[in-house]
Chain A
Amino acid sequence: MTGIPALDRLDWQATLFAPALNRLAVMRLGAPAATGPVLRVVRNHAFETLLPVLAPLMQFAGYAMSPVLGEYDDSLNLPDEPYDAALVWLDFSRYGRLDDDELGPWLAGRLAALRAHAGGPLVVANSPDGGDRATRLNAAIDDWATRTPAAAVLRLDRIAGELGARAFSEDRAAVTGTRYGDPLCLEAARTLVFDVLAPFHAAPIKALAVDLDNTLYSGVLGEDGPDGVGLTEGHAALQREIDRLASQGVLVSIVSKNEPADVQALFAARADFPLRPDRIASWRVGWGEKSDGVRAAAAQFNIAPDAFLLIDDNVGELVQVGSRHPGLRLLHAGGEAADTVRALTRYPGLPRAGQAFAGRAADLAANAERAAMAESAPDEEAYLAALKAELTFALDPVEDRVRLTELSRKTNQFNLALRRLDEVEVDRYLTQSDRCVVHIRLADRLADSGSVAVLFGRRADGVLIVDELCISCRALGRKLEDVMVTEAVRGAMRRLGADGLAFDYRIGPRNQPAVDWLAGFVGQPVTGEAGRLNVSADRVAETPRAAVSIRWTHD
């Protein structure tokens, strides 16, 4: 995925997660200039010196963009050329003629115009200057970002706060083209790539595979025993960070070459470990290859191995697993544990705070029991009755925009038209009168599965066209697809006043479950690479089976 050999990634890690980026060390990585979707930089001061640093950061993060710099322009005119993402890079000290009360509204107006001009992420670098004026301006920028689809803030104020006087080189501005010092520019580049753009562009990390000896603690369990291994401050911080990620829905597996009984005894004995065993969703402890352990954990989690981040102190293990599972991310824990924590905290692809589904591990743990229930139930109806499934439907829930986008962009198996909508496109479905969105949440008597499905529809000639239909793999296998889709379609048809129904589809490499479902639902084969199937409205006229509880919000 990243094009960086596993062994080299370890050197890149040390350079790119260093406490402060060193320009020479970054240059030594030898990353070629990035090519990819256009990142348009709308600016009124120099950005050029960030360019050589962006390429290696993006390559490590697993995505590429081509930065294109506009001319210096204080008035923030709309770019003429098309772009896929934009960064607003303004030195706000140049707006001295605008009063404090004028600057925020003026900027919000220009940003709204930029937002309307093109889709894709729109990032605004806020003011690093400090003081009341900058504080009010930054609050206005935060407010705008909260209200605007696919908007994000590059928080230069935080970086400047940490750098202190080194953030600025006022006296060199005439020579360098910016008041910002090189340390501020370097950290801005890292933050932009790892923290701001990665949630839009980097492949998501859904699970951690964590080694034990000299990774989660210092020492070797087989030699030192449960009471002999050490919990340094750094290791405790690492365990807390893993625990925090688990609380956000990142699945955690232990992949370790140890005796299973020893590991069990370790976690029983060490009450001082911040990471408790109930946070571990999969234990892959034994003497087999770690690549097999990752594969087994991936199968248990129903995700691909490339959605894992492996944390291990052993370079050989990292290289072995990385070579077996291309695209799997690697984090070398061979140095100080504090270094590992720093890298893990901002590793690109991990979920943004508060965005992931915290109950993922519990939901996953319930799958075995669900499978047993399905096995023992006399028929499907009895199984559903025993499951006590509750489906909650929400019509046009604007507040769920980010999650709805995530469902469209990240669902692979049950993704019917593979449109991969971005936030701006999702916003159109949420707000335009001839379009609608149905968001579905699922719970059953075993666990809460949270947000699991979405339907994006629009009306054309009195027909509801289902432009996109996505169901998370977490909800598959419970025989609820027909109920979910039927009820969602009924709600969408009511909302849009449609009396006909059609589904768009596109056949891709991994969405066969969705295509098979459609063929079964309409009772005819799905042919060709892409197309539209008209369905009799009678197909959704009947009330879904009573064994499933159905509730609407936002109706």
Chain B
Amino acid sequence: MTERIDAEIAEILSLTLGRPVAAGENLTRADEPKWDSLKHLEIVFAVEGAYGVAFSPEEIAAVTGAADLKAKVLSADAA
């Protein structure tokens, strides 16, 4: 389950940022110059569409990297 989430989040990041991202790699906004505010929204919206989750405004702003995206998906799954 978590492997699939890792793989799909990596795919979303890779497709959005135009660079390879390994499954499970905790890529962060600070690490990736292409991860600007627009790409950030695209990433969040893609995760929302893929998993049927909804980020609050605060959660959108608080996402710093792949790990936060995965945590949101897992927390929604647990709920």
Contacts and interface: CB of A to CB of B under 8 A. Distances in A.
A182 B50 CA distance: 13
Contacts, number: 44
A182 B57 contact: no
A171 interface: yes
Contact of A52 (B8, B42, B56): B42
B57 A27 contact: no
Interface string A40-57: 000000001100100000
Contacts of B56: 171-172
Interface in B6-45: 8, 11-12, 15-16, 38, 41-42, 45
B45 A27 contact: no
Question: Interface SS of chain B: helix, strand, loop or mixed?
Answer: helix
A28 B15 contact: yes
B48 interface: yes
Interface string A17-54: 00000111001101000000000000000001100100
B46 interface: yes
B32 to A, nearest CB: 17
A48 B49 contact: no
A174 interface: yes
B42 A24 contact: no
B50 A24 contact: yes
B60 interface: yes
A175 B11 contact: no
B57 A48 contact: no
B71 interface: no
Contacts of B55: 172
B60 A22 contact: no
Contact of B41 (A24, A28, A171, A176): A176
B76 interface: no
A221 to B, nearest CB: 41
A48 B36 CA distance: 12
Interface of B: 8, 11-12, 15-16, 38, 41-42, 45-46, 48-50, 55-57, 60-61
Given A23-B42, A24-B50, A48-B41, 6 more contacts: A24-B8, A27-B12, A49-B38, A49-B41, A49-B42, A171-B57
12 contacts: A22-B50, A23-B42, A23-B45, A23-B49, A27-B16, A28-B11, A30-B15, A49-B38, A49-B42, A172-B57, A175-B41, A175-B60
